[in-house]
Chains A and B, each alone.
Chain A
Amino acid sequence: MTAATASPAPERANPALHEFAFAGAPERRLFTVYRAARGAARAAFVLCPPFFHEQFLSYRLLSLVAARLAERGIASLRFDYYGTGDSWGDESAFDLDGACADADTALAELARRQPGVPLIAFGARAGAWPAARLARRHGLPLWLWQPLPDGRAWLDELVAMDARERASRLRYPFIGNEPKPADPDRLLASYCPPPLRAQIAAQRLDTLLADAGLASGGLDLRVADDERAAPLSGARERLALPAAATDWHEKIDLRATFITPPVAACIDALAAAAPGGAAT
């Protein structure tokens, strides 16, 4: 379905309602942002962020999504995977297995902060992969934001983008006619050696969702995606994001991020689908 347009809600003025903290074992400390719900929480989600440069490109957007959901009674815990963002660890420590383990750590932290509240796994872009595994392991509803259906296809996009940037005269005006050399261990500045590329290439969202019980009707899946994207079959709800709100990952340079009324409507529809919401 396409969510109806809603006017943007004013963001919460009281900054004390979100809280930064490190969580997890001392040798694998994760940076987390816990956002309390306005009033008593009726649900809470853990958000698995995108990978690589898409993490910082999406950061404001996902912060605003969490803020709006908090206004509607849904608490959240966002986190950075070990070796990424503000978490501890060198970037070479990041891999898919670690990301999944970190999602478990974040879920445990959220459950500690919000005991007795229904939990939701939420993944954005490549974060859909650890989020789907989290949903399967813990039997949680799953929300996805612009999920990546095919790791191989995404890897190919990154390789092409990396080549474009290395040859870009806007980025490197002094390079003459020779592009900057490729680095087999990096893609668009991020550490991505061959073993990690192989892990990414093996990711298929449909397989992950089937494992999580989508085919048997055991998975409550809600997807907010580009209105032009092919729908994920089996989702209970598909929320169409306008194309202008979904192209943030296509360039390295970050623009200002706003929650426009159509995007706000999608967030509100997710809120309505959470336990205790109007759609439940």
Chain B
Amino acid sequence: MIEESPLDFGNGLTGVLTLPEKPTGQPLWVLLNAGFIPRSGPFRMHVELARSLAGQGVPVLRVDLPGVGDGPPKRGDDIAVIRHGFDRLRELAGAQRFVVGGLCSAADQAWKIALADERVCGLLLLDPYARRGAWFRVGQLKILLGRGASALATVLGRLVRRKRASDIEDGNLRDWPQAAAARVEFERLVARGVEVFALYTGGAASYFTHRAQFAATFGACAAARCVHFEHWPDCDHMFMRVQDRARLLQAVRDWARVFA
């Protein structure tokens, strides 16, 4: 039977630790907040993921960072808060290695933590960074063709009127590296053997519309053995449909076996 313990690390990190029935020596997973959504995750996704993974021997902590859920006010560097949390988890649960990640801003933070801390051996990236590029335009065209002639006419009309797109894009709202830096950072992670699960949903269509963007963004390392990439265009950013959440759970459970 799995067990859950509420934890307060005392430095701004609070959460719920889900432990498997018996210790398995697997890395401890830390699920970070998806934007401002509390630790239970969008539509309880983190709760289901934690209990499901614990059922196959994986310990999971779902957290509230400062400024989210029950966390204290945001005051400084979240990365430092999480790394301190790693130290406490080593004391409390004997954790030596960590898989970090989550959705959207959680993926951005996990990326930075993995670069800063070699105890991170796995990254769960749901709608993480990607560069737009030419393949993005191809994907956009595919979306438009799927909407029929009227949508095409609307877009062509906009092009003729040269209406400017909004300056506020995902790159402005997210904590993303520069394109060149992202590729170098990814190479560093792959060279270290960090296992990466990168999934892009249809909800990321403002910057990711075509699966070829992944290789175009990260280069040859995108095909490394430690990298698992998926593109689910039919799924939304928050996994609102129960079928999408079930599919995600299964995909993550399958991927988690690389750490067993």
Contacts and interface: CB of A to CB of B under 8 A. Distances in A.
Interface string B1-28: 0001011101010101000000000000
B69 interface: yes
Nearest to A53: B43
A15 B37 CA distance: 20
A11 B66 CA distance: 12
A88 B62 CA distance: 15
Contact of B73 (A11, A31, A84, A254): A11
Interface in B43-86: 43-44, 47, 67-70, 72-73
Contacts of A252: 238, 240
Contacts of A165: 240
In terms of DSSP, what is the predominant structure of the interface of chain B?
loop
Contacts of B41: 56
Nearest to B34: A254
Interface in A83-103: 84-86, 88, 91
A60 B10 CA distance: 19
B28 to A, nearest CB: 18
Interface in B176-232: 202-203, 205, 209
B14 A20 contact: yes
Interface string A49-89: 00001001001100100000000000000001000111010
A190 interface: yes
A177 B147 contact: yes
A20 B14 CA distance: 9
Nearest to A255: B36
A183 interface: yes
A189 B241 contact: yes
Nearest to B62: A86
Nearest to B148: A177
A173 B16 contact: no
Contact of A31 (B6, B42, B147, B202): B6
B234 interface: yes
B86 to A, nearest CB: 18
Contacts of A189: 43, 238, 240-242, 245
B200 to A, nearest CB: 12
B236 A21 contact: no
Nearest to B75: A13
A91 to B, nearest CB: 7
B224 to A, nearest CB: 28
Contacts of A33: 70
Contact of B37 (A56, A174, A186): A56
A63 to B, nearest CB: 5
A263 B146 CA distance: 46
Contact of B205 (A12, A63, A174, A177): A174
A256 B36 contact: yes
Interface in A163-177: 165, 169, 171-177
Contacts of A31: 6, 16
Contact of A190 (B6, B43, B69, B147): B43
Contact of A63 (B6, B70, B203, B245): B70
Interface in A1-55: 10-13, 15-16, 18-22, 31, 33, 53
A21 B43 contact: no
Contacts of B252: none
A257 to B, nearest CB: 7
Contacts of B68: 60
A18 B14 CA distance: 10
A31 B40 CA distance: 11
A253 B8 CA distance: 27
Contact of A171 (B43, B72, B236): B236
> Which of A16, A172, A175 neighbours the largest number of chain B CB atoms within 10 Å of its CB?
A172
A85 B47 contact: yes
A188 interface: yes
A177 B12 CA distance: 46
B39 interface: yes
B143 interface: yes
B101 interface: no
Given A15-B8, A86-B16, A189-B238, 19 more contacts: A15-B14, A18-B70, A19-B6, A19-B8, A20-B8, A20-B16, A31-B16, A56-B40, A60-B36, A60-B68, A85-B47, A86-B39, A171-B236, A172-B202, A173-B205, A176-B147, A183-B242, A191-B242, A256-B67
13 contacts: A15-B8, A19-B8, A53-B43, A59-B69, A59-B70, A60-B38, A63-B69, A171-B203, A171-B237, A173-B202, A174-B202, A254-B37, A256-B36
Which 6 pairs from chain A and chain B are nearest by CB?
A: A20-B6, A173-B205, A176-B146, A174-B233, A189-B43, A59-B38
